[in-house]
Amino acid sequence: MPLLSLKDVRIGFGSGPGRHEVLRDIHLEIQEGEFVAIVGYSGSGKSTLLNLLAGLLQPDAGSLQLRGLPAPGPGPDRGVVFQNYSLLPWLTVTENIALAVDQVFPEWQPGQRAAHVRRYIEMVRLTPAAQKRPSELSGGMRQRVSLARALACEPAILLMDEPFGALDALTRANLQDEVVRIWLENRRTALLITNDVDEALLMADRILPLSAGPGATLGPSVSVPLSRPRDRRSLHHEASYKHARRTVLDYLLGPGSHAKLAVSRKLVLPDLLPEDLDGPRPSLFAPPKRRAHSATETVELH
């Protein structure tokens, strides 16, 4: 039984002619202990998908299941590393993490909780900044705090939304290794959302490409049969790496991804009537004649 699954999910924003269809026909199964990566274009709906999995958004159709049962609302069993860190700016690094830890492990002794918080701050190498507020940290440091907060809750599944997006290449490499190491240590389930195919290949067991929106959908799953620990220097030469990479890119760049690309936009005609020169002149103070007129045009892109 999969740990987390989405069945036939569709979601969009707005209603009527302004409706924006973001995801459709989403089937997704994440097994216990797996490391899955979702790779897709910017704006295709990756964060929307993650919010669905976390329970922060409700699908318009289809269902979300946790261990085969309809998933309850959001909770700390599904830890989230948000794309924009989502740290509370009035709390220090320690306090941000402690807020989560105190909430998830209320039965522990205060000392035990504090030690737990310190351990995770140590893990992301932020001990010197433990008493700083998020505004005093760099983007990468904030991302690490966000990661530590999610990990400290010891969730059944860790959902990460482009967690290395704001990092320089060196820190990114470090932190990628760190996340994989933590994942290997306790074999929790992890889902990584990224726009970097190489990052996905380095970290994940399985890659799911997400086509470009609107109406994005997941492509066929591509497994990454590479042994761990993976060494990013020698990885590029392995045949299975090249094969997996080509499969993902072919899907993302190929016609399958763009076939349904269409934009619909609302056309609003100018709010004027042509002046009628023959008729009697309208009073200066009469309200202007209005013509509510709009049309929707759908443009298919090829």
Partner 1 sequence: MKPLQRLQRFFLESLFLPAVGLLLCLLLWQVLSGKTVKTTVRDDFGDLVTVTKRVGLSKDLPSPAETWAASKTYVLQPWAKRGELDQGILAFTWLSLKLVAQGYAIALILGTPIGFCLGLSKSFAKTFDPIIQILRPVSPLAWLPLGMVLFLSVKIHVPGAGAPYTASELAAIFTIAVCSMWPTVLNTAVGVRAIPQDYLNVAKVLKLSRTKTLLKVLVPATLPYMFTGFRLSLGIAWLVIVAAEMLTGRPGVGGFLWQQYNALNYAHIILCILTIGFVGYALDRLMSLVESRFKSV
Ligand X SMILES: Nc1ncnc2c1ncn2[C@@H]1O[C@H](COP(=O)(O)OP(=O)(O)OP(=O)(O)O)[C@@H](O)[C@H]1O
Site string for ligand X, 76-115 (x = CB under 6 A): -------x--------------------------------
Q: Is 233 exposed, middle or buried (CB count within 10 Å of its CB: 0-12, 13-18, 19+)?
A: exposed
User: Which residues would be at the binding site for partner 1 (CB under 8 A)?
Assistant: 51, 54-56, 73-76, 78-80, 82, 84, 86, 88-90, 99-100, 103-104, 133, 153
Token pair, residue 289, equals 């004649």
Whichever of 20 and 118 has its CB closer to ligand X, that residue is: 20
- Binding ligand X (rule: CB under 6 A), the pick from 9, 22, 53, 66 is 22
CA distance 145 to 167: 13
Token pair, residue 135, equals 């505004």
Contact region with ligand X (CB under 6 A), list: 43-51, 111-119, 200-208, 222-230: 43-51
Whichever of 94 and 257 has its CB closer to Mg ion, that residue is: 257
Site residues for Mg ion, 24-53, by CB under 5 A, read 46-47
CA distance 244 to 225: 9
Whichever of 46 and 172 has its CB closer to Mg ion, that residue is: 46
Cis geometry, peptide bond prior to residue 76 (ω within 30 degrees of 0): no
Q: Of the candidates 241, 239, 249, 238, which has an alpha carbon nearest to the alpha carbon of residue 224?
A: 241
CA distance 44 to 34: 24
Site residues for Mg ion, 145-204, by CB under 5 A, read none
Whichever of 95 and 178 has its CB closer to partner 1, that residue is: 95
Chain centre to alpha carbon of residue 247: 22
Min CB(301)–ligand X separation in Å: 15
Residue 45 binds to ligand X (criterion: CB under 6 A): yes
CA distance 77 to 190: 12
Site string for ligand X, 281-300 (x = CB under 6 A): --------------------
Site residues for ligand X, 184-203, by CB under 6 A, read 195
Site residues for Mg ion, 80-109, by CB under 5 A, read 83
Q: Of the candidates 5, 65, 64, 51, which has an alpha carbon nearest to the alpha carbon of residue 30?
A: 5
Cis geometry, peptide bond prior to residue 214 (ω within 30 degrees of 0): yes
Which residues sit at the interface with ligand X, rule CB under 6 A? Answer: 13, 20, 22, 40, 42-48, 83, 195, 213
